[in-house]
Chain A
Amino acid sequence: MPQASMGLDFLARVRRTSLLAGLVAALIAGSSFTLLAGLGVAAGCAWCLFNLLALESLVAGLVGARLGREHSLRRMLVGSIGSLVLFALGALLLTQLPPAALMVGFLVPFAVLVLKAGSLLLLQSPLWRRITANPWQAAVLIASIAGASWFAANGMHGVLRAEAQAQHAESTEALAAPPAQAHATSDEPAAAAEAEHAEAEGPKMFDNALGMIIKANHGKPWANVLHHFEYVIYAMLVAVILSIIFIAAARNPQMVPGPLQNLVEAAVEAAYNFFVGILGPKYGPRFVPFLGTLFIYIWAMNFFGTIPLMHSPTANLNITVAMALTVFGYVQFTAFKELGFMGWLDHMAGSPRSAIGWALVPLMMPVHLIGELAKPISLSCRLFGNIFGEDMLLVGFATLGITALSSLHMPFGLPLQLPFMFLGVLITQPVQALVFTMLSTVYFLLMLPHGEHGHGHEGEAPHNAH
């Protein structure tokens, strides 16, 4: 059955490509028009793909029954019932989603099918073989096709613009002068309010999935709640993803580890060595779970902004302050536990051991308090500033790239932000996570009894604890 399997293979390839193309088309429709349009394209594409699957099942069942294969009746039944269910579902979709968007999505697999079949025919044709025999000839042909498409697109754009201008001129002529003036004056406060609203919203950032949902449902109570908890939802999402990864890695540990178990074991071992190296063998192991989790969580949150339609939760000060306060609380709790209340007070008073020391206690207490408060603030501000700054830099360069090609009326811009994205992924994001965690470790180190890390108490002779 080489031909039949070849046909089914072809359909499988069409399905994979259509799935990707449909996803891209849905994202473009969702971000360029409305969320419903995006959903319509996605639903149309999914409907068409499931329909193809049902048809494939029906055809395979029919062929199998003719050849006396088992399970063919079941496949036929699945195909027929699936088609009926899909038709009912299609009717429901037509009432809920924009029909034009559904039609676009529906046509995506057919477009892929036609293009794939056309390219297969072209690639096997003698003409193509003759063209590709000489690389220069092929390059000239591709360049001429690109140039012709360019001019055709520009010409189309010019025609559309001329039509729009003509329509605009007609509509302005039709309007009388006094109402036009009234319209202009009524527009001014609206524009001012819009500018004020834009200023209140803060600097322009990349669009993200939740932001798009909020925009599409502006003014609704649940959208307001979503807006308030936008960054918290992203932070929770990162936590859930990390939990799933780590649970999957630790669920069934093997003596010869698989790739995921290997990766997680390497990460845990590196974290163990790092934190035990700083805090010493007595206290280090106790803090490895907290500090290691903090490092991986911050790194993942920093990285999350690089994924299209996602946002770095650490680009929001509330999230970084929450993490810094957690560290602060844990540091103070550890100090209470290790030093006791009197020991903690002694530490806050600057460990007075002489009359001058005791006399300086009223001064040293607020000084130490300021020093302790400075730690969480410095942690949160540093992380927030770096990640927010990186996001702004990416937005700035993406805007610059779009502006650079705007005069050519291209539907895309130069990807000037890409080098900075790579720089962020490779350097900024892990380094910022490392700095936050390292400083948290240092705050633990500064609060713990000093003799355990290879040196003595303040002012005392150091001794080796290792």
Chain B
Amino acid sequence: MDPKQPDPKKASLLRSTSLLLAIPSLLVISPLVGLFLGRFADRWFKTEPRLTYAGLALGFFAAIREIHLIIRRVKAEQESARRR
């Protein structure tokens, strides 16, 4: 079996869709991960609740950063598809 290479335009659309699909879960889970890591660090260093807040803030920042990166890649993808 020798499968054909997929159509570049369809592949680009598929890639953009899959990238955008990752946004909702990352938006929700990243702050939660930050919160739990912060709580864990707080218990470890006995600094409640400072590291929890810091972890939550970092989590939000991580979510925004991941989404920013994804959107940049999707934009680059669209730009590339337009050039073809």
Contact = CB atoms under 8 A, between A and B. Distances in A.
19 contacts: A278-B18, A281-B5, A367-B62, A370-B34, A371-B66, A374-B29, A374-B33, A374-B66, A377-B29, A379-B25, A442-B22, A445-B18, A450-B73, A454-B81, A455-B73, A455-B76, A455-B77, A459-B72, A463-B80
A438 B55 CA distance: 28
A371 to B, nearest CB: 4
Interface of B: 1, 3-6, 8, 10-12, 14-15, 18-19, 21-22, 25-26, 28-30, 32-34, 37, 55, 58-59, 61-63, 65-66, 69-70, 72-73, 76-77, 79-81, 83-84
A370 B76 contact: no
Interface in A228-278: 265, 268-269, 272-274, 276-278
B5 A276 contact: yes
B13 to A, nearest CB: 9
Contact of B76 (A276, A277, A367, A456): A456
Contacts of B62: 367-368, 370-371, 374
A445 B12 CA distance: 13
Contacts of A374: 25-26, 29-30, 32-33, 62-63, 66
Interface of A: 265, 268-269, 272-274, 276-278, 280-281, 350, 363, 366-368, 370-371, 373-375, 377-379, 381-382, 435, 438-439, 441-443, 445-446, 450, 453-456, 458-459, 462-464, 466
B76 A378 contact: no
A86 B21 CA distance: 62
A194 to B, nearest CB: 35
B15 A277 contact: yes
Given A350-B65, A462-B77, 17 more contacts: A273-B4, A273-B6, A276-B11, A278-B18, A281-B5, A363-B61, A367-B58, A367-B62, A371-B26, A374-B32, A439-B22, A442-B21, A446-B70, A446-B73, A453-B77, A462-B80, A463-B80
Name the residue in B22, B28, B37, B72 with the highest tally of chain A Cβ atoms < 10 Å from its Cβ. Answer: B22
Contacts of B70: 446
B16 to A, nearest CB: 10
A274 B66 contact: no
A453 B13 CA distance: 12
Contacts of A368: 62, 65
A400 to B, nearest CB: 31
A445 B15 contact: yes
B25 A439 contact: yes
Contacts of B5: 276, 281
Interface SS of A by simple majority: helix
A375 B26 contact: yes
Nearest to B12: A454
A102 to B, nearest CB: 53
B42 to A, nearest CB: 15
Contact of A439 (B6, B18, B79): B18
A109 B58 CA distance: 70
A90 to B, nearest CB: 54
Nearest to B1: A265
A438 B14 CA distance: 10
B78 to A, nearest CB: 9
A446 B69 contact: yes
B14 A278 contact: yes
A246 to B, nearest CB: 14
Contact of A274 (B14, B33, B81): B14
Nearest to A466: B8
Nearest to A279: B15
A454 B8 contact: yes
Nearest to A377: B29
Given A370-B59, A374-B26, A277 B1 contact: no
Contact of B28 (A375, A378, A438, A443): A378
Nearest to B37: A370
B70 to A, nearest CB: 8
A370 B58 contact: yes
A277 B3 CA distance: 12
Contacts of B37: 370, 373
A272 B4 CA distance: 9
Contacts of B22: 439, 442-443
Contacts of B15: 277-278, 445, 453-454
B19 A277 contact: no
Contacts of A438: 18, 21
Nearest to A350: B65
Contact of B19 (A272, A378, A442): A442
A445 B33 CA distance: 22
A363 B11 CA distance: 35
Contact of B83 (A269, A446, A458, A464): A464
Contacts of B76: 455-456, 462
A325 to B, nearest CB: 14
A455 B15 CA distance: 12
Nearest to B7: A277
Contacts of A370: 30, 33-34, 37, 55, 58-59, 62
